[in-house]
Structure 1
Amino acid sequence: MLKPTVGPIIGHTTTNQSRIFIRGEFQLNTAVFGGIRYRVSGTQQWLKAPFAKLELLRDMSAVILLDKLTADTDYEYQAGWFSPMSPTHTVDSVMELPLQWPREVYRLRTRATAITQPRAYILGSCRYLRLTAGIPSLPHLGDRIFSSIGQLIEGAQPPVSAIMMTGDQIYVDDLNLIAPDREYNEILKKYRAAFSQPNIQRLMSGTPTYMILDDHEIEDNWPVNAHKSDASLFRNAMTAYEIYQASHSPACAVTSNGQVDQVLKNYWYQFSDGDIEWFVTDSRTRRNLAQDDRRILDEEQEQALCQWLIESPARVKFVVTSVMFYPDRKLHGDDAWKSFPAQRLRLLEVIRTHRLKNVVFISGDVHGSLTSRLTHSADPNFEVHTIVSSPLHNSKLLPYAKASTFILDQPLALTADGDYRHELTSAVVSQDNFAHMLVDAGQIRVNYHDRDGKQLQSIKIDLR
């Protein structure tokens, strides 16, 4: 067997399941299979290896489900792909072959069942990896920060439950003024290059990684800049996104026969981790730009989000939106929630009128990191926080955000019942960085680190 050409990537992981993405390579006139074998760390016996047939339709990739795992347990696994000599082999028959697995051993940990156990997460967005003629230019620069993240995760207490990447994991339009990629095969090359660099590959093979798209998975400021001729670009970009980002997420259901269903109803999804719950929104592909009903989230998604906010018993609720919920930017803010004030106000009023506590919005996009607090002039019980983490690696062509980038001297929204007012609760980080977020019984601690892992600042958000 051969090493995966992309992956393994650990996706959605629960107390008893884990989804793992692997990619092989096309072989002319012969079938290709990928497989994973695993065991509890410290034991000798490998458990029965699940296999999948790798199809060109999914760029020779598959998501393999490990089921009936034990909670809060360390596992080790091996992954590989091969082409059998006989063309008659099936997924079931290859499981009986005496295969020689690749030597690399990867590790994963299932989620803990203890509800109140402290949890930790890595937050990041906007990883620029420039390609020239399909080849990464200075790829070590775009991969450097993932080594620092991996070093922090190793031995971290509490263990890091997951990595949340909130958009622009690739830049389809990295040379958008000169030669933007539009064809399907060109976009696939972007994903293969971006996800197979050594540090990010090592990181994602050992820590569950959740992703949601932003505009650069398609083109800058989508869909404002879209033209009728962009229909094929959108179709190509989203097909590639579904293969490499959505396929291992909770957006894909598990079928009754233990397979991950790759037919997607939508890109937004939910998941839980103890008494913490996440709602990851698709704030990019379901926008309505009509002036009479402007929406950054479609009606179905807004209703689902509001229902979750009201009904979820979670102690802490994280809402991921790839673009800024607040504060608004002075310039270029129309690509974010600033341009959809009515829908934003509806969400805030749901949180305020239902007296919901510990709601935190997480985003990226702006190439600057910060935390901020939103209050209401007439309602002392209302409080919402936002945590922004961006970028993992910036382009030299793009500026970093700073405090003067944002509108901070006026209320976010004015209503008959009072004003929504916000303030920064951190400095604005204007360099490549990531966030290490820890949640315990009384607080959220957000530690920002630079690309070498050095801590830049630490912010405490008290829970109520």
Structure 2
Amino acid sequence: MFKPTVGPIVGHTTTHHARIFLRGDHANNRVFAGIRHRRQGDTRWSQGQFVQLKAYRDMTAVIVLKGLRADTAYEYQAGWFSPMRPTHTAATVGQLLLPWPGEVYHLHTPSGTDNTARSYIVGSCRYLQIVGDVPLLPGLGDRIFASINHLVKRADPPISAVLMTGDQVYLDDLNRVAPDRSARDILFKYRTAFSLPHIRRLMSSVPTYMILDDHEIEDNWPANKEPDDERLYANALDAYALYQASHGPAGEDLDDASPGRSPQRFWYLFAHGDIQWFVTDSRTRRNLSAADRRILDQEQEQALLEWLIGSTARVKLVVTSVMFYPDRKLDDGDAWQAFPNQRLRLIEAIRTHRIKNVIFVSGDVHGSLTSRLVHSQDPDFAVHTIVSSPLCNSLLLPYATASSFIIGEPMAKAADGEYRYELTSKVISQDNFAQLRVTTQSIQVTFHDRDGGPLEVVDIPLR
């Protein structure tokens, strides 16, 4: 067996199962991928689980490890091969005596208990340019993941998950140099970006959750959509479904190995005890018409509202790849400030239903910060936002600064008062990532530079 050409990537992991993505390669005969696992400390491996790889899926697959135990360390091996007999199936290759690749990977299932301290890594916007099938300075974008790996080793409490909140790849190369449009070029970029050594090591052991933003398609999509972009869009979403959505909760409807590659929707939920996440798709379901302008489609907005109102979670974190607030002085029509009616509906629902501990988490702006939203006539209302971006900026793009944002003016006006926000941190204007420590009392946000050094620490109280 050979090592995966991309992966393994540990995706959605619960107390009892884990979704693991991997890619093989083309061969003359049928190609299969396999995984076997065991509890750490055991000597006997499980029987291998195998799946046939298909060219229309770019030789990728997700294998689900089931029957796991909560809060338990596991180790696993993964690989791919082409058997000598072309008549083999996924059921019969398990009977072969296979030499597994020597590398052993590790994962840890979460506990399901409430009031348990947990840690998360949040980041977005990792730029990697490829010209003529050659990545330019790939180590620059991979360097920060070495620092994240170092933090993972010593984090207390341990890191429960990594949240990548958009622009994991830049297909458009800033709309300047040969943007990727063909399926071949887009898939090559994903393979390259996800197989660099430090990010590969991180994703092989820490559950990683992803959501797309515009550069997974093209800058400011769909506002900049051109008439000839339909094929680009189809190729981009096919690749996103394979490499980002498939190993997350949104990909669970793909396990029947049907020819369709896209899940029914890209937004999803996951939970660790009484800490719950709602990861929105704020990019592909937009409606830009004046009659019903919305950043989330009606189905998704309704699901988000029902979750906010009905969930008993102690902490509710909402991921939106573009900023919920603060608003930027240069409004390019891309973030939530350009969809004020829908944003007001959400915050009015949070306030009128007295929902506590709602945190909006985002990226996109190439600057990191925390901010608090309050209501002029309701002292019991507060909503916080955490923005973490970028993991690796392009030399051609500026960083956001404090002067980039509108400060001191009402964000929105309701019938019985107005909403205002204030920064609760400095604005980080360099490559960085965020660590979130969620305890019973607070969410401590630490922004780290690309070498792992702390830049800013903010404590968001929980009520």
Q: Normalized against structure 2, the TM-score is what? A: 0.98
Give the aligned partner of residue 404 of structure 1.
Answer: 403
Distance in 2, matches of 1:223 and 1:194, equals 24
Distance in 2, matches of 1:413 and 1:315, equals 27
For residues 203-250 of structure 1, what are the alpha-carbon distances to aligned partners after superposition, in whole Å with 9 as ceiling and x for unaligned? 000100000000000000000100111000000000000000000110
Q: Is the 8 A contact 2:253 2:263 kept in 1?
A: no
1:3 CA drift (Å): 0.4
Aligned identity (percent) is 62
1:193 aligns with 2:192: yes
Matching of residues 69-80 of structure 1 within 5 Å: 69-80=68-79
Q: Is the 8 A contact 2:246 2:252 kept in 1?
A: no
The 1:347/1:330 distance shift into structure 2, 3 A limit, reads same
The 1:259/1:80 distance shift into structure 2, 3 A limit, reads farther
Q: Is the 8 A contact 1:325 1:363 kept in 2?
A: yes
1:260 CA drift (Å): 13
User: Which has the higher mean CA deviation after the structures are superposed, 258-267 or 426-435?
Assistant: 258-267
Matching of residues 119-130 of structure 1 within 5 Å: 119-130=118-129
Matching of residues 199-348 of structure 1 within 5 Å: 199-253=198-252, 264-348=263-347
Give the aligned partner of residue 352 of structure 2.
Answer: 353
1:305 CA drift (Å): 0.4
1:122 CA drift (Å): 0.1
1:113 CA drift (Å): 2.0
Distance in 2, matches of 1:152 and 1:226, equals 40
Give the aligned partner of residue 16 of structure 2.
Answer: 16
Give the aligned partner of residue 26 of structure 1.
Answer: 26
Matching of residues 121-160 of structure 1 within 5 Å: 121-160=120-159
Letter in 1 for 2:3: K
Give the aligned partner of residue 391 of structure 2.
Answer: 392
SS in 2 for 1:236: helix
1:261 CA drift (Å): 9.5
Q: Is the 8 A contact 1:164 1:210 kept in 2?
A: yes
Matching of residues 363-442 of structure 1 within 5 Å: 363-442=362-441
Distance in 2, matches of 1:112 and 1:45, equals 24
Q: CA-atom RMSD, angstroms?
A: 1.5
Q: Which runs of 4+ in 1 moved over 4 A?
A: 254-263
The 1:438/1:258 distance shift into structure 2, 3 A limit, reads farther
What is the count of residue pairs matched by the alignment? 463
Distance in 1, matches of 2:257 and 2:308, equals 30
The 1:107/1:258 distance shift into structure 2, 3 A limit, reads farther
Give the aligned partner of residue 43 of structure 1.
Answer: 42
For residues 415-456 of structure 1, what are the alpha-carbon distances to aligned partners after superposition, in whole Å with 9 as ceiling and x for unaligned? 221010100000000000000000000100000000000011
1:134 CA drift (Å): 1.8
Distance in 2, matches of 1:365 and 1:279, equals 18
Q: Normalized against structure 1, the TM-score is what? A: 0.98
Flag structure 2 segments of 5+ consecutive residues without an equivalent.
none
Distance in 2, matches of 1:257 and 1:429, equals 44
Letter in 1 for 2:109: T
Give the aligned partner of residue 163 of structure 2.
Answer: 164
Q: Is the 8 A contact 2:402 2:427 kept in 1?
A: yes
For residues 296-330 of structure 1, what are the alpha-carbon distances to aligned partners after superposition, in whole Å with 9 as ceiling and x for unaligned? 00000000000000000000000000000000111
Letter in 2 for 1:391: P
Give the aligned partner of residue 94 of structure 1.
Answer: 93
Distance in 2, matches of 1:101 and 1:37, equals 9
1:392 CA drift (Å): 0.2
The 1:39/1:304 distance shift into structure 2, 3 A limit, reads same
SS in 2 for 1:371: strand
1:43 CA drift (Å): 1.2
The 1:217/1:69 distance shift into structure 2, 3 A limit, reads same
1:355 CA drift (Å): 0.5
For residues 26-60 of structure 1, what are the alpha-carbon distances to aligned partners after superposition, in whole Å with 9 as ceiling and x for unaligned? 113x1000000111111110011111111011100
1:463 CA drift (Å): 0.2
1:178 CA drift (Å): 2.9
SS in 2 for 1:251: helix
Distance in 1, matches of 2:234 and 2:255, equals 29
The 1:258/1:24 distance shift into structure 2, 3 A limit, reads closer
Q: Is the 8 A contact 1:65 1:260 kept in 2?
A: no
Letter in 2 for 1:210: Y
Distance in 2, matches of 1:201 and 1:372, equals 32
1:199 CA drift (Å): 0.3
Distance in 2, matches of 1:38 and 1:384, equals 42
SS in 1 for 2:172: coil
SS in 1 for 2:187: helix
Letter in 2 for 1:316: V
Letter in 2 for 1:202: R
Distance in 2, matches of 1:407 and 1:182, equals 36
The 1:369/1:256 distance shift into structure 2, 3 A limit, reads closer
Q: Is the 8 A contact 1:254 1:261 kept in 2?
A: no
Distance in 2, matches of 1:108 and 1:390, equals 26
SS in 2 for 1:335: coil
Distance in 1, matches of 2:185 and 2:287, equals 29
1:256 CA drift (Å): 9.3
